[in-house]
Structure 1
Amino acid sequence: MNSEHQAPQENDIGPVEGEPLIRPSSTDHPLYEDIVDACRTVFDPEIPVNIYDLGLIYTIDINAENDVNVTMTLTAPGCPVAGEMPGWVVDAVEPLPGVKSVNVDMTFDPQWGMDMMSDEARLELGFM
Structure 2
Amino acid sequence: MAEAPSKEQVLEVLKEVSDPEIGVNIVDLGLVYNVDIQDDGTVTVDMTLTAPGCPLHDTITRTAEMAIETLDGVKEARVNIVWSPPWTPDMLTDEGRRLLGF
TM over 0.5, shorter chain: yes
Runs of 4+ residues over 6 Å off in structure 1: none
Q: What is the TM-score of this pair, normalised by structure 1?
A: 0.73
The two structures, once aligned, show a CA RMSD in angstroms of 1.3
Residue number in structure 2 paired with 1:3: none
Q: What is the TM-score of this pair, normalised by structure 2?
A: 0.90
User: Where does the alignment leave 5 or more consecutive residues of structure 1 unmatched?
Assistant: 1-28
The structure 2 residue matched to 1:117, chosen from 79, 85, 92, is 92
Structure with bigger strand share is 2
Bigger radius of gyration among the two? 1
Residue number in structure 2 paired with 1:91: 66
Count of aligned pairs between the two proteins: 99
Contact 1:67 1:101 in 2 (8 A): yes
CA 1:85–1:30 in 2, change beyond 3 Å: closer, same or farther? closer
Structure with bigger helix share is 2
Query: Sequence identity of aligned pairs in percent?
Result: 45
CA 1:30–1:91 in 2, change beyond 3 Å: closer, same or farther? closer
User: Where does the alignment leave 5 or more consecutive residues of structure 2 unmatched?
Assistant: none
Amino acid at match of 2:48: T
The structure 1 residue matched to 2:29, chosen from 32, 44, 54, is 54
Contact 2:5 2:73 in 1 (8 A): no
Shift of 1:83: 2.0
Q: Aligned partners of 2:96 and 2:57: how far apart in 1?
A: 21
Residue number in structure 1 paired with 2:57: 82
